[in-house]
Amino acid sequence: MSTLAWSDDLALGIEQMDQTHQEFVALRAAVEAATDEQLLQRWKDLIDHTQIHFDNEDKWMRDTNFAASNCHTTHHKAVLDVMREGLNYGLKGHFVVVRKMNAELATWFPQHADTMDAALSDYLKRIGYDTVTGHIAHPQTMPEQQIHGCSGSTDTDLTAGEQPAACGH
Ligand SMILES: [Fe+2]
Ligand SMILES: [Fe+2]
């Protein structure tokens, strides 16, 4: 059995985000179940899907007044860089690196969903952002200043101590 399974506890209430997250969980499990022959293709599939997953969330943030260098987007880039580094190891025959990284994603994903993605989904719901059309129903509830942190605020609507943890890996 996979070390990470989808459950409704992981749902955040933004349909497109939840759909993508379910796909991520399934693709990560497929890597876990892969034979050595299947491993690199499945890892590439997970990287390709994760690129689209993160690109979508990054776009939603740009659409809703996050600075391009905000904490959540920066974290996405770091995770993808590490996954691609894992692929390079795998291409040299170091499959154990890919398998270990994939196992770490089973821990990373629920933490990311519970912190950065949950904060983003709460913010998007609050301002009435439609991920399909890009329409914002309640623009008056958006902060005037650009958002640099991991959440829907210009400064600290994450409690002290929560933000460094969310940004620190
Ligand atoms: Fe996500
Ligand atoms: Fe995210």
- Give per-10-residue mean pLDDT for the chain (169 aa): 89 98 98 98 98 98 92 96 98 98 98 96 96 95 86 45 36
**What is the Å distance from ligand 1's center to 132 Cα?**
16
**What is the Å distance from ligand 2's center to 117 Cα?**
5
**What is the Å distance from ligand 2's center to 54 Cα?**
6
Cβ pair 40, 140 in contact under 8 A: no
pLDDT value for 152: 57
What's the CA gap between 118 and 169, in Å, rounded?
Answer: 16
pLDDT value for 162: 36
Q: Please provide the CATH number assigned to the domain covering 13-141.
A: 1.20.120.50
Give me the residue spans of the domains in the chain.
Answer: 13-141
**What is the Å distance from ligand 1's center to 23 Cα?**
11
CA distances (Å), origin 11, targets 16, 38, 77, 92, 166: 11, 29, 23, 37, 19
**What is the Å distance from ligand 1's center to 50 Cα?**
8
**What is the Å distance from ligand 1's center to 57 Cα?**
7
